[in-house]
Amino acid sequence: MFLSGLDEIDRKLVELLIHNARMSYSDLGAAVGLSRVAAKARVRALEERGVIEAYTAVIDPQKISGAVSCYFEIEVEPAAFGAVTEALRENDTVTQIYQVSGRNKLHVHAVAAGQEELEAFLDGTIHRLPGITSLSCNIILSRIKDIKGLRL
């Protein structure tokens, strides 16, 4: 994937960090032909530009006993769109919210501690959202491929 504004070294640094965000500046520098100090400066510049937003641990909810991972497809009346996205954004069960093409459709990922928490989320949050015209919920059974970040 081409990202305008990134030279070859920045692209390689981003690619290395996508694969291992814990990589040392010394190792990053060695991989791209820079000193540790120069690699650190390049990474900081990428962070300041917002190219790199965060470093985080990726948890597989299926490896946690009883956790239920699911996604919702939600169609919302235009007048209620802001209220719905705000209610979902504030809910800890929700992990990701995407606005997708279509009739004010949202794609929402959620992870619940178990079946009871998922039902409570449905009853206490999802079913109380204003202006919902269509809703579907899909339980994720297994993760086959899940790429974090961008492929460069």
68 CB neighbour count, 10 Å cutoff: 21
Domain that holds residue 115: 61-139
- Can you read off the two tokens belonging to residue 76? 């919302």
| Per-residue pLDDT band at 136 (split at 50, 70, 90) | very high
> Are 16 and 82 in the same domain?
no
| Per-residue pLDDT band at 3 (split at 50, 70, 90) | low
- Can you read off the two tokens belonging to residue 110? 């959620």
Question: So what's the pLDDT on residue 1?
Answer: 45
> Are 67 and 93 in the same domain?
yes
> Are 31 and 71 in the same domain?
no
0.85 surpassed by pTM: no
In which element (H, E) is residue 135 found?
strand 132-139
> Are 68 and 116 in the same domain?
yes
The number of distinct structural domains making up the chain is 2
User: How far, rounded to the nearest angstrom, does the alpha carbon of residue 80 sit from its chain's CA centroid?
Assistant: 24
pLDDT tens-place string over residues 55-67 = 877 777 767 778 8
